[in-house]
Amino acid sequence: MRCPFCKELEDKVVDSRMSEDGSAIRRRRECLSCGRRFTTVEVVKELRLRVVKKDGSREPFERGKIMEGLIAACYKRPVAVEKLEAITAQVERQVLQKFDREVESRYIGELAMRRLREVDNVAYVRFASVYRAFNDAGEFFDALKPLLESSDPDEPTSDEGDGKGTGVIIPGDSKNEGREGTQ
């Protein structure tokens, strides 16, 4: 491997570690010429999966786009980034297992929405509203209807009644009266 500092080719591997999911190997190397250390990562080179967009155009599959969409949907929601990374990995794994060359963007979006619905209903609705590009309030309501029908009125949401509070008290909000330790 060429040293990024002195450009010489002679080096030795001083440490090798596999990534948690086993998809890559990280190697710590030391240049035999200048003595500086650098890191390389080895991954299996895969055939690039292409995504067929709604307009028929094609572009390379990028897991980062899934993550960006999930982060936007979860803005100011109590969802950990680790959970979004796990959803992204699940979607990516399922897509790569099922498709060899091309996948429709609709399929990727539906997978992401299904997983997001299990985590946070508000984030799910946000994601769906952008992804499905509702034309009117009726379409939006149709997407909300299953959520409203399946919600248990006795079960607390992430915004109320869990005993832990949300960490924010809204002045004048009757829900917050008498709740201690939520700030």
- pLDDT tens profile 119-144: 988 888 888 877 777 777 777 777 77
Yes or no: say if 48 and 136 are a contact pair by the CB < 8 Å rule. Answer: no
Residues 47 and 61 sit within 8 Å (Cβ to Cβ): no
Least confident of 26-40, 145-159, 165-179: 165-179
* Domain spans, the chain: 11-43, 50-150
Sequence-ordered list of residues with C-beta below 8 angstroms from that of 120, at least 6 positions apart, any chain: 74, 77, 78, 79, 158
Token pair 């897509």: residue: 95
Residues 6+ apart with CB under 8 A from 169: 176, 179, 182, 183
Q: Summarize pLDDT for 73-119 with one digit per residue, the tens.
A: 999 999 999 999 999 999 999 999 999 899 999 899 999 989 998 99
Cα 165 to chain center, whole Å?
26
Instruction: Report the DSSP beta bridge partners of residue 27.
Output: 16, 40
Determine the Cα–Cα distance for residues 119 and 98; give it in Å rounded to an integer. 24
> How high is the pLDDT of residue 138?
78
* Whole-structure pTM value: 0.54
- How many angstroms from the chain centroid is the CA of residue 121? 16
pLDDT bracket for residue 44 (50, 70, 90) = confident
